[in-house]
Amino acid sequence: MQPHRPYEKCDTLKQFLDNDRKVLRFYCIWDNSSEMFGDVRELVLHYFLADDTIEIREVIRANSGRDAAPKFLKRSKVPKEVGALHKPGEITERTVLNVFGPMGHGGRYILDSLKTGAVDKSCYTDADLTVGAKVNVWGREVTICDMDEFTEHHYNSKFGVAK
């Protein structure tokens, strides 16, 4: 018996259960000194293994004259290539095709199993983040300088790479 709705199964529960609360921490810099009033900023990049998302926080020293808003980038997936911004609904997990019938109630729809309208956007993974790597964060070049002990242990056990 075939299902009435051919949904694709994208199971991320195993990745979440295996890596929940496991976070890789990288110490980075963003050199903005070429711009007017720019300087070198210290950042901490958190890579969440549970869902492959990245969060970046700025290290703000006491009495530095900066606002106490340390969040540089909210937790999200960061694409490797930054292109034009897409309109809402332009990039979706599934494409619905109108087979026949009127729009709205009474029409017949199917899911596009060939993914003809899919946009390939590759995002950063833990394999891309190494010491000395440059990460393009929405047009800002962030350089990874160091990592903590847990991250070093993770890279040594998973990839066989020592710091």
d(C-alpha 140, C-alpha 151), whole Å: 23
62/75: higher pLDDT: 75
18/102: higher pLDDT: 18
Identify whether the C-beta of residue 122 lies closer than 8 Å to the C-beta of residue 136. Answer: no
Task: Tell me the pLDDT of the chain averaged across its residues.
Answer: 86
| Residue-level pLDDT at 7 | 57
Phi, psi of 129 (to 5 degrees): -95, 105
- Banded pLDDT at 88 (limits 50, 70, 90): confident
Sequence letter at residue 3:
P
Q: Is the pLDDT of residue 66 over 80?
A: yes
pLDDT in tens, 1-58: 455 555 556 778 999 999 999 999 999 999 999 999 889 999 999 999 999 999 999 9
Mean pLDDT of 109-137: 85
* Percentage of the chain lying above the pLDDT 90 cut: 56
Least confident among 39-48, 77-86, 99-108, 152-161: 99-108
CB atoms within 10 A of CB 89: 6
Length of the chain: 163
